[in-house]
Structure formats: C-alpha cells, structure tokens
Chains A and B, each alone.
Chain A
Amino acid sequence: AQSVAQPEDQVNVAEGNPLTVKCTYSVSGNPYLFWYVQYPNRGLQFLLKYITGDNLVKGSYGFEAEFNKSQTSFHLKKPSALVSDSALYFCAATGAGSYQLTFGKGTKLSVIP
C-alpha cells in the first residue's frame, strides 16, 4: 500500500529565512511525487512534481524539492520565505501506472514577519 508521511503538523519560520517542509513516501516501483499548496477556503494548487530525471525539481513561486531515493524523501524548500507563503502544504505520491494519489496529512507553514 502507498503511504506519505509529513512528520511536522506545523512549521514556523521567520520571513527571509530558508524553509523546509518534510515529506517521506512509500510506493511500489518508481514514484511520482507532488507538492500542492492550499490557501484558506481554496482548493489545492499544484506547486511542483518529480516524475523522472534531475533530483532537484523547481516549481512555482520560487519553491523547489529534492528527490532522495535512498531516503525515500521529497522535501520542499525555499531559500527565502515570504509572509505570503503561509498556507497548508500537502505532499502526494503514487506509483507508475496508478491513478490514485496518496496524500500526507499536510503541514501548516507560518511565516512570521
């Protein structure tokens, strides 16, 4: 069975500091990995994905994520946090050939001015 873990319910970071939101996964075969962001009263918005290729993936709004196969991790990062980055972040994964995305519980990111 597929699973995704986001070990932190909440991450607090000062504006301008780097941020990391952690994600580990378990899927059969090669993983397809995604990060989505949810702002209040809105749907999930796609940030970035890893399918194959370069382990460092760049996405929207200056976010990036690093795929680490040996650690089965896909942490989300940004070099300099903005107050407007405050939102709920979801990591999701699936295996090749599956159409079911498995989500983590979400991590609430708060960027403090």
Chain B
Amino acid sequence: EAGVTQFPSHSVIEKGQTVTLRCDPISGHDNLYWYRRVMGKEIKFLLHFVKESKQDESGMPNNRFLAERTGGTYSTLKVQPAELEDSGVYFCASSRGPLNSPLHFGNGTRLTVT
C-alpha cells in the first residue's frame, strides 16, 4: 500500500507569511494525526481527525494554526501568520483503527520561518 505522503518536504518562509502543509493518509485510514517536532525537543501532538471530524485539537499552539480534512481524505495544516517559533518538522500520521493500531508516519515537512 502507498504510504502517508506529505507536501512540501521543505518550506522556507518569512515571518508573517502564510504556509499550508498537506498530508495524504493511507487509503482507508480514518484516523489522521498531526505532530510537530521543534529542534531538539520532543515530538508533540497537535490534533487528531476521525474522518472529517476533529476529535482532539488540544495540542494546537494557538489560533494561527488551522487544520482541515476535506471529505475525510487529505488534510491541510495552515499557519497564518507564521512566527519564528513555528519552525520545526511537522509530521502527519494515519491509522486504521484505535490507538493500539500503530501509526504510519509521513516523511514530514521541515518548516523554517526566517
């Protein structure tokens, strides 16, 4: 099966600009997650979708971040306006069922805000 795909792989933007990250999960995976790793720190949970519904967005840092999952397929994560502290690697993951099913991760998007 095709893996989780993330686009772009790298993005360099200036402070104040907008960036949209995209994630295509594995087909048939209802659960989709966004995680972020800031340089040298832990990978942190951002939010969780089940199909098109947000189940848990308690990890979203602030209202500059907006995630959507159109029709329960691909997901986008928009940062607007970007700040320096938003720099890091953003990972998307998907799974078929409950959390005892392993997550399948994409390669991540490395975001650099200058």
Contacts and interface: CB of A to CB of B under 8 A. Distances in A.
Interface of A: 4, 32, 34, 36, 41-46, 49, 51, 90, 92, 94, 98-106
B65 interface: no
Interface string B45-57: 1001000000110
A43 B41 contact: no
Contacts of A36: 105
Nearest to A45: B105
Residue of B35, B43, B91 contacting most chain A CB atoms (<10 Å): B43
B106 A51 contact: no
Contacts, number: 61
A105 B55 contact: no
B107 A41 contact: yes
A98 B98 CA distance: 9
A99 B48 contact: yes
Given A44-B105, A49-B102, A103 B43 contact: yes
A103 B99 contact: no
Interface in B51-108: 55-56, 58-59, 91, 93, 98-100, 102-108
Nearest to B56: A99
Given A99-B48, A105-B42, A43 B108 contact: yes
What class of interface size applies to chain B in its complex with A? 20 to 34
27 contacts: A4-B42, A32-B100, A41-B107, A42-B107, A43-B3, A43-B6, A43-B91, A43-B93, A43-B105, A43-B106, A43-B108, A44-B91, A44-B93, A45-B105, A49-B102, A51-B100, A92-B43, A99-B33, A99-B56, A99-B98, A100-B56, A100-B59, A101-B33, A101-B45, A103-B43, A103-B44, A106-B42
B102 to A, nearest CB: 4
B40 to A, nearest CB: 8
Contacts of A49: 100, 102
B105 A104 contact: no
Contacts of B56: 99-100
A102 B100 contact: no
Q: Which of A44, A90, A104 has the most CB of B within 10 A?
A: A44
